[in-house]
Amino acid sequence: MKKYLNPVFLFFAVSLFLLQACSEDDPKEQESTVNHVGTPWKISSVEYNLIDQSLTSQIIKSGTASDAGTFYFDGAKGSFDIKIEGSRKEDVFTYQENSGDVTITSISQSVGGSALSQNVIALSGDKPSATTMTLSGTVTKQSLTGQYVLTATFNLVKQ
């Protein structure tokens, strides 16, 4: 008696293969979703603790990185494009600068239908010269599909 593969098993195996093949591209290669405007400040180095979880993956890492993205400052508004451990996050924020002290804050929430998210950016630091800045704090993005929590100290250099 010959045994054949169960067609249902074969269907699920092929479906799983196709889903993996069609998964999102590497976050490092995704195009920007934020219109970055203003003076760019390169993240020359960052010391971090990162938790990036989704329904399909999880990254929990600590360490240091160089060339980890860019902050942009334009008036009282700004944005960032942070790339650490294969994880990329972008967002906008408001900030204040007073006698070399820099404070960045942003809190946004979305509730309705199937959307539920909360984003909190809380960073502060100093700008000891016209070309260097240090920021420390947390970037938190949470939704129904995952969470991103980055606690870091950024060393920035004006480009």
Q: How far apart are CA 133 and CA 93, in angstroms?
A: 17
Question: pLDDT by residue (tens digit) across 124-154?
Answer: 999 999 999 999 999 999 999 999 999 999 9
Q: What is the mean pLDDT of the chain?
A: 85
- Total residues found in the chain within this entry: 159
Model confidence at 21, in pLDDT bands (50, 70, 90)? very low
Residue 19 has pLDDT above 80, yes or no: no
Tokens of 61: 């890492």
Residue 123: partners with Cβ closer than 8 Å, 6 or more residues away:
102, 103, 104, 135, 136, 137, 138, 139, 154
CATH architecture of 35-158: Beta Barrel (2.40)
Query: Distance between CA atoms of 145 and 143, rounded to whole angstroms?
Result: 5
| Two tokens, residue 55 | 């329904």
pLDDT band at 118 (very low <50, low <70, confident <90, very high): very high
75 pLDDT exceeds 60?
yes
Q: Where are the beta strands (DSSP E) in 55-114?
A: 58-66, 69-74, 77-84, 87-98, 101-112
pTM of this prediction?
0.77
Q: What is the mean pLDDT of residues 75-101?
A: 94
